[in-house]
Structure 1
Amino acid sequence: MVEQPRHAPLDIAYSPCPNDTFVFHAWAHGLVPDAPPLNVTFADIDVTNGMAERGELDVLKVSYAVLPWVLEEYALLPCGGALGRGCGPLVLTREPGRDLRGATVAVPGERSTAYLLFRLWAAEQVPGGVGDVVVMPFDEIMPAVRDGRVDAGLVIHEARFTYQRYGLHRLADLGEHWERTTGLPIPLGAIIARRSLGGPTLRALAAAARTSVRMAWDDPQASREYVRAHAQEMDREVAEQHIGLYVNEFTADLGESGLAAVRGLLTRAAAEGLVPPLAPDALTLPR
C-alpha cells in the first residue's frame, strides 16, 4: 500500500458550526507540528455524508449513522468528532404534546445520526408511525415548524439553546431517551479518513486532530475569530454554549465508552434493519 507523503495537503470537509471550527482551527492554520496542511471545504452534515458515500475527499466530518455505508473505504478516527451526554437532538412542535401519528416531520438528513435516533425513538413512541419525512438544512427546520409548513422538526446543534425564540415546544429529547435506555453517551458526528492512506498515516492524522483539540482548549481565544467568521448570525453566547456542549473529553479520545456507544447505536439500528451490519473490526484503525 502506497502511503501519502507526510506533508502533502489533505482535502477535508467539516461544518461551519462552532464546534468544528474550534476543534480544527489549529490544524487548519498550520499550528499543529508535523501535521499535513488542510484544504478545507465547509459543508453541512448532510452534504458531507453524501461526499463520504461518493468517496470524494480524504478526511470528512460525517454522521455516525452513515458509517455502515462508508467504512469499507474510510476508517474512523478516534478523536475530533462529537459525542457526549446531554447533547442529543430534539423533536420540536408548535403545540405541546403534539401527536406525531401521521405527522409531517422535517429532519436534517436521511443518513444523519439525529434521524437514526428519531427512527429508533418513533418505533417505540409513535404507534402507527409518523407520516411524511422532509429533509431540510438544519437552520431552516425551526422556521418551517413555526410557520406550520411541517408538523414537527428534528433539530440539532445550537437549536437546543434557541428553539424557544421561535415559540416552539420540546416534544422529546432523543439524547435523553438514548442515555436513559442504554446508559451510553450519544454518538453524533465522526471524523473519518481514507483507509488507502495507510495505518501509520491514519494514526498520525488522529494524533493531529487530538493535538488540535488540546491546543484549542489551551488557548480558546486563538480560535475566536475563526469561529465567529463561520458561525453566520449565531451570537457569541450561543456559540460558546455550542462549543462547551459538543467539544468534550470524547472529542479528544472516544475511549472504550465512546466506542461502545457507537457500536451500541449501529448494532441496535442494524437489528432493526435500519443500517447494514458492521464487521467486527470495522471501527478499528488499520495497522
Structure 2
Amino acid sequence: MSTYTVAHSPDADDVFMFYAIKFGWVSSKYIRFENIALDIETLNEKALQNYYDITAISFALYPYIKNDYALLKTAVSFGKGYGPKLIKKRDKRLKKNFKVALSGQYTTNAMLFRIAYPNARFVYMNFLEIEKAVVEGRVDAGVLIHESILNFDESLEVEKEIWDIWIELAKKELPLPLGGMALRRSIPLLKAIESENMLIKAVQVANKHKDAISKMLIERNLVRIDDEKLKIYLNMYANEDSSLMNEEHYEALDRLFEIGFEHGFYDTPIKAKEYLIPSEYKNVRFC
C-alpha cells in the first residue's frame, strides 16, 4: 500500500469533501491518504516547491506548476453568480491607489483583482485576518474569501464582487474558477488514477450524505461556522458540480488561463484538458 499526502485548506468545503475519506467511508486496498490542512496561499507556495503529493490549489496558480502536477477533475470550487468580495468601510471613497489586503499572490481572486485595479497597493495576508485589517483601518479595503463572504462586520460594505470582474474580463457568463486539486506527476499512473477515483468517490459520498457529514464536522469543531451558514456555504462550493468538472468548467478554466496570459501573468496560454490524468489508460491497459 502506498501512502500519499493530501493537503487541503481548512475552509468548510475542502474539509467537507475530504472527510468522507477521513471518516472511513471511502477507502482503497492500494492507497492510504494522510491529510494536512493549511491556508490556500501556503498550499500554493508549497505546490511551487513540489512539496505535497496531492494538494488543493488556486486555479490561477496551475500554469506555474503544470510540469510537476496534473490537474484533477474533482474536488473543485466554482462560483456561479457569487465569489470573493472586495469590501471597505461604509461610505469610504477609495482612491485610485488604495491599499488592499489580498489572501495571497497566487490566488485566483488576486489575479483578477490586480487586472481590474492595477494602481492599487497590495498587501498579502492570511484570509482570516483581512476583515479585521479593514475594520481597524490598516488597509483601505480587502478581498474576503471562503466563509467570510457570508457574514462580516456591519461597519463594512461590498465595493465590488469578484464575480463581476470575472464576467467583465471573460466577456461571457461562465462559472468563476476558484480552486481545485493537483496531483504530483511522479506518482505512478495507475496509482494516480486510483487516487483521483478515491477523491471523486469521496466528493460524491460527501454530497450524498451531506447532512450526516455536516453534523459530524460541527460536533468535532472542524469548521468555523454554524450549521445554518455551513449549509449555505456547502450549497455554494461543495455540490454536485464539485465531484467532476464539466465542459462549462473546462471552458471557464481555459478562459482564466487565457486572461492570465493576455495580462502577462503566464508565458503561454494552456488548455485544461491537456493537463488531466489520462484515466482511460487503466481501461486500455487491462482490456
TM-score by length of 1: 0.88
**What do residues 227-257 of structure 1 show as CA deviations (whole Å, max 9, x unaligned)?**
332223x222222221111112331111111
Shift of 1:100: 4.0
Alignment correspondent of 1:231: 223
Counterpart of 2:28 (choices 34, 43, 63) is: 34
Alignment correspondent of 2:156: 168
Q: Secondary structure at the match of 1:78?
A: coil
Shift of 1:279: 4.3
Task: Read off the aligned partner of 1:255 and give its amino acid letter.
Answer: N
Shift of 1:52: 0.4
Return the alpha-carbon distance in structure 2 between the equivalents of residues 278 and 28 of structure 1. Answer: 36
CA distance 1:101–1:73, shift in 2 (3 Å) = same
| 1:98–1:171 CA contact under 8 A, matched in 2 | no
Shift of 1:102: 1.0
Matched pairs, number: 273
| 1:114-193 alignment, distance < 5 Å | 114-123=109-118, 129-130=119-120, 132-163=121-152, 165-179=153-167, 181-193=171-183
| 1:73-88 alignment, distance < 5 Å | 73-88=68-83
Shift of 1:156: 0.7
| 2:113–2:165 CA contact under 8 A, matched in 1 | no
Alignment correspondent of 1:264: 255
Shift of 1:86: 2.4
Shift of 1:146: 0.9
| 2:207–2:239 CA contact under 8 A, matched in 1 | no
Give the root-mean-square deviation of aligned CA atoms. 1.9
| 1:96–1:171 CA contact under 8 A, matched in 2 | no
Return the alpha-carbon distance in structure 1 between the equivalents of residues 277 and 117 of structure 2. Answer: 33
Shift of 1:97: 6.5
Return the alpha-carbon distance in structure 2 between the equivalents of residues 157 and 166 of structure 1. Answer: 18
Return the alpha-carbon distance in structure 2 between the equivalents of residues 246 and 176 of structure 1. Answer: 18
CA distance 1:211–1:10, shift in 2 (3 Å) = same
| 1:24-103 alignment, distance < 5 Å | 24-34=18-28, 36-96=31-91, 98-103=93-98
Task: Read off the aligned partner of 1:137 and give its amino acid letter.
Answer: N
Task: Read off the aligned partner of 1:220 and give its amino acid letter.
Answer: K
Alignment correspondent of 1:4: none
| 1:84–1:248 CA contact under 8 A, matched in 2 | no
Alignment correspondent of 1:276: 267
| Structure 1, 270-279 or 41-50: larger mean CA deviation | 270-279
Shift of 1:197: 1.4
Return the alpha-carbon distance in structure 2 between the equivalents of residues 250 and 100 of structure 1. Answer: 39
- Runs (5+) with no aligned partner, structure 2: 282-287
Return the alpha-carbon distance in structure 2 between the equivalents of residues 162 and 16 of structure 1. Answer: 18
Return the alpha-carbon distance in structure 2 between the equivalents of residues 202 and 251 of structure 1. Answer: 19
Return the alpha-carbon distance in structure 1 between the equivalents of residues 165 and 97 of structure 2. Answer: 22
Counterpart of 1:9 (choices 3, 8, 13) is: 3
TM-score by length of 2: 0.88
- Runs (5+) with no aligned partner, structure 1: 1-6, 124-128
CA distance 1:8–1:156, shift in 2 (3 Å) = same
Shift of 1:182: 2.4
Shift of 1:225: 5.0
Return the alpha-carbon distance in structure 2 between the equivalents of residues 216 and 196 of structure 1. Answer: 28
Return the alpha-carbon distance in structure 2 between the equivalents of residues 83 and 100 of structure 1. Answer: 30
Q: Secondary structure at the match of 2:265?
A: coil
Return the alpha-carbon distance in structure 1 between the equivalents of residues 87 and 194 of structure 2. Answer: 41
Alignment correspondent of 1:246: 237
Task: Read off the aligned partner of 1:230 and give its amino acid letter.
Answer: L
Shift of 1:267: 1.1
| Structure 1, 148-157 or 32-41: larger mean CA deviation | 32-41
Return the alpha-carbon distance in structure 1 between the equivalents of residues 4 and 249 of structure 2. Answer: 26
Alignment correspondent of 2:206: 216
Return the alpha-carbon distance in structure 1 between the equivalents of residues 22 and 67 of structure 2. Answer: 27
